[in-house]
Amino acid sequence: MNNFFSQIKSLFNGDSQKEVAPVSSSTTTPMNEPTNLNVKKVRLIVEGRVQGVGFRYTTKQVADRIGVYGIVRNENDGSVYIEVNGDPKKVDDFIEEIRHSPSPSGKVDHVTLEEDASIEERVKFSITN
């Protein structure tokens, strides 16, 4: 510790001969890397007029615009299944838009939501069928 203080003191005294060791890059996290500390993961089942009306396509457009990630697919029972992950505020904004049907021809009658930490964390939004 005394060595550290002597290096600092020599810098303030104008002694430029001594070098201070840089902070190891292995101890820092780059600004552009996700930290995954604050990710919300939600599963949605959307019912109504949501198949054959461009619902999956417009859902992907909404996800890309807001900046959330996940999947959307049609189910055999006529509903649409969505998994979404991302910043909690962005996920909430996404859900609100889905409740009002992103497709002009669609109509959402009911949305079932389930927050589930075990949902796979994705880095893009995809239509899976």
For the four alpha carbons of 49, 51, 54 and 56, in that order, the dihedral sign comes to: positive
Q: List the catalytic residue out of 49, 73, 74, 99.
A: 74
Integer Cα distance of 99 and 33 in angstroms: 31
Catalytic status, residue 56 = yes
Contact present, 108 and 100 (Cβ < 8 Å): yes
Both tokens of 20, joined, read 């201070």
Catalytic status, residue 13 = no
Which residues are the active-site residues? 56, 74
